[in-house]
Structures are given as structure tokens and as C-alpha cells.
Amino acid sequence: MSSLFLPVALSFLARSVLANPVPLVTGTALPPNIAQQAGGGLSNQPGGPPKLSQNGIDSFHLANFLENLESNFFQEGLMNYTQWGSGNQVNGVPNMGVVSRIAAQEEVHVASIVGLLQGNGAQPVAPCEYNFPVTDEKSFLALASIITNVGIGALIDLEAGLSTTDAGLEATVGSILPVESRHDAFFRIYAKEVPNPTTFETRISALWAFNLALDFIVPNSCKNLPPSITGLQIFPDLGIIGYGGPSFATPNSPGKLIFQVGQPNMLPQGWNSRPLYMAWVNQNDVPAYTPVTVQGNELHADVHPGMFGIAFAALTNQNTATNINDLTKATLAGPLPIPLGPGQ
Ligand SMILES: *[C@@H]1O[C@H](CO)[C@@H](O)[C@H](O)[C@H]1NC(C)=O
């Protein structure tokens, strides 16, 4: 079995116009019944929300931005179930019921972050308009897995940042993370993949998460974003145009991918005056690098062996960065999430 499945290439997907963006909660008041639907509402906090540092506020602004996207995605998907019917079943439970619970949980996550920001005198981040390349239940749940893994990677980064400035909030973020992983286990079981593909979840950087979110945001649809978000660097997209796997691809020999940069004019001057590499980020491992050969506008690179779950690839012209933050500074294009098979 091929160890790669690539049903959802994020960057080059058509952007059909979203007819009716779903309104999201923008205050701390939650719609009635949401706590019941989610399995719990806002946490009660005697003495009000904890005090945030400036780094904490900036970090939760980005978390708000990302969770808005996730919440909107699941609410829109839930609405789509009215056309899809109650969906297929995992363990005899119709998928629509699980998605309804996920949507409610994401809504409570958003409302919790909004409450935290407001309790610190900071403006919450308003939702943007989104555009998701979903055509049916199957592609919805496949994209759900990718979006959830981006969220997981960003939440680990949020925890890491808070550990130096707002350590009291680490455990709060830690209480959200496994909920997201439970969601992903469900998406994976539905796709007949193992629910627990990896030993560790994969951390990404805030800037990478921001760039991944942009793939689903209607241009110029975000209003009043805080400067900590508008100031973030935008990388050109990295997309996959072909998979040249060996006929018996395994995790140890997973094959070759052909990449393309979506907007080559956004690449910095002199980007290819040094050797190019594809950087691979997976679990807690230091970034791995495979050489890139350029053929016209195609970038050919081997997939780094021994990765599981979802890996993140980025184009770079160095192979010495040993952590996600240094790699983010040296990113030329991407990142791109790449789902890998279970290796069985
Ligand atoms: C919902 O369905 C519409 C119409 O098919 C589609 O364009 C949109 O991407 C879907 N969104 C989600 C999140 O499923």
C-alpha cells in the first residue's frame, strides 16, 4: 500500500465563493443548549479571567483567529449535513451527531478565548469569511483532520510561548489539546486510518499556522485584525502537483513528490542562489531536509523517510535550522500539511 494519501492538497484548491458565511459567536454569551451539545460550557472562574501578559494577549489573539476558522468550518459542515443526511456511522453513531458535538466544543473554545481577551481589556478577533474546498462528507472529514492537526500544532506552540510569560494558562491550553486529538481520532477512524498514528503530536509555529489558515480565508474579508496579526509575514503557497512514489512505497522509502510554488513572484531575491531543500517537520524530531531539484517550475524532492501521521513540508535554502522557530525564519514557501499512511 502506498504510504502517502493526498486527497486534499491545500494550497492550489479552487476557491468557490462561499454563499452564506455562518455568523459566529463574537461575545461571551453562548447560544442556549450549546453546553449540553458540547458536553460542557464555559469554565467557571472565581475571581474572573486570569491576567494576561502582552505576549499572552498577542498569542491568544492568534489563537482566536485560528479557532474562529475551526469553529466556522464545523458549523458550516454541520449545516451541510442537512444535505448529506445524518452521514455514515462510526460505531453505530451517525457522524452528524459527532460533528454537532465537535462544532459545539469549538464554539465553546472560541467563547473561552474571547472571554479571556475581554477580561483583559483586549478586543476579541472577529471572524473572517472562509472558503473551504469541501464537496461531500468524505472530503469534509478529510479536511477536518488536516485543519484539526494544524490547530493541534499551533496549540502546542501556544503552550510553549505561555510557559515563559503566562505559565498559569498552560494547563488551560493543555485541557483543550487532547480534545482536538479525540476529534482527529474520529476523523481517522471514519477514513479507515489508525486513530493513533503517532507517538507525539507535531508542533508548528504560530507563523506557519497563520499561513495555513490563509488558504481558507476570503481575501480582504477580515476586519479589524490586531496589529500582531496584520504584521505577520505571508509566504507564497507550496502545492503538490504530482506523486512519483515507488510501486511499493513504505515509510522507509516513501517516494518522491513534485511541488510548485503558487506565487513565485513572492519569493525573496536570490532565493535560489543557494541549494534548495524541502524541510520536513514531524513529531518532536528536529526538522529533516531532502534536496530539491528544480525542473522548470517543478520542485522535485524525496519525502523524508520514517514520518507518520501528518508531516509539514516547507521550501527553504538551508539545511541547518534545528527547530521549528529557526526553520520558520528560513521558510521560503509553504508550509504544506502532508498526510502519511499508517505504514502498515
Ligand atoms: C458546505 O457545502 C458547500 C456546498 O457544497 C461547500 O461549498 C462548502 O465548502 C461546504 N463546507 C463545509 C465546511 O463542509
Q: Which domain holds residue 221?
A: 5-228
Supply the residue whose CA is at minimum distance from atom 6 of ligand 1: 134
Establish if 179 belongs to a structural domain.
Answer: yes
Residue 304 belongs to domain with CATH number? 2.60.40
pLDDT of residue 17: 27
Q: Are residues 300 and 326 in contact, defined by beta-carbon separation less than 8 angstroms?
A: no
Residue 151 lies in a domain: yes
The pick from 72, 76, 139, 145 for probing ligand 1's pocket by mutation, whose C-beta has the most ligand atoms within 8 angstroms, reads 76
Task: Specify whether 39 is located in the same domain as 161.
Answer: yes
299 and 194 in a common domain: no
Do residues 217 and 244 both lie within one domain?
A: no
In this structure, the answer to whether residues 196 and 303 fall within a common structural domain is: no
Residue 233 lies in a domain: no
| 115 assigned to some structural domain | yes
Residue with the bigger pLDDT between 87 and 211: it is 211
pLDDT at 338 over 50: yes
pLDDT: which is higher, 245 or 304: 304
Distance set, CA 160 to CA 233, 246, 311, 339 (Å): 21, 38, 20, 24
The CA distance from 192 to 247, in Å, is 22
Pair 317, 206 in one domain: no
Query: In what helix (H) or strand (E) does residue 28 lie, and over which residues does it extend?
Result: none
Q: Is residue 108 part of a domain?
A: yes
127 and 185 in one domain?
A: yes
| Ligand 1 atom at shortest distance from the alpha carbon of 74 | 13
Q: Judge whether 155 lies within some domain.
A: yes
With 0-12 CB in 10 A as exposed, 13-18 as middle and 19+ as buried, what is 105? Answer: buried
Do 118 and 244 lie in one domain? The reply is: no
pLDDT higher than threshold 80 for residue 22:
no
pLDDT at site 101: 96
Q: Which of 169, 202, 228 is the last residue of a domain?
A: 228
Residues 171 and 124 in one domain: yes
The residue out of 228, 260, 284 marking a domain boundary is: 228
Identify the domain boundary among 228, 256, 273.
Answer: 228
**Roughly how many angstroms between the first and final C-alpha of the chain, as a whole number?**
8
Which pLDDT band holds residue 248 (cuts at 50, 70, 90)?
Answer: low
Q: pLDDT averaged over the chain?
A: 88
Q: Verify that 25 and 138 share a domain, yes or no.
A: yes
How large is the average pLDDT for residues 137-156?
96
Count of domains in the chain?
A: 2
SS3 content of the chain, % helix, strand, coil (to 5): 40, 15, 45
**Strand residues in the chain grouped as ranges (E):** 89-90, 93-94, 238-244, 256-261, 277-281, 288-295, 298-302, 310-316, 331-339
Is 257 a domain residue? Answer: yes
- Same structural domain for residues 276 and 147? no
Q: Of all protein residues, whose CA lies closest to atom 2 belonging to ligand 1?
A: 80
pLDDT digits (tens, 9 = 90+) for 52-77: 999 999 999 999 999 999 999 999 99
| pLDDT of residue 14 exceeding 70 | no
Amino acid occupying residue 138: K
Domain assignment present for residue 344? The answer is: no
Distance CA 248, CA 253 (A): 8
CATH number of the domain bearing residue 189: 1.20.1260.10
Listing DSSP states for 171-212 in one string gives HHHHHHHHHHHHHHHHHHHHTTS-S---SSPPP--HHHHHHH
pLDDT above 60 (res 236) = yes
Name the one residue in this structure whose C-alpha cell is 512505497.
249
Please tell me whether residues 279 and 213 are part of one structural domain: no
For residue 135, how far is its CA from the centre of ligand 1 (angstroms)? 6
Residue 76 near ligand 1, beta carbon < 6 Å: yes
- Is 19 in the same domain as 96? yes
Judge if the beta carbon of residue 80 lies within 6 A of ligand 1: yes
- Closest ligand 1 atom, residue 139 Cα: 14
Reply yes or no: is the peptide bond before residue 335 cis, omega within 30 of 0.
Answer: yes
CB 279 within 8 A of CB 327: yes
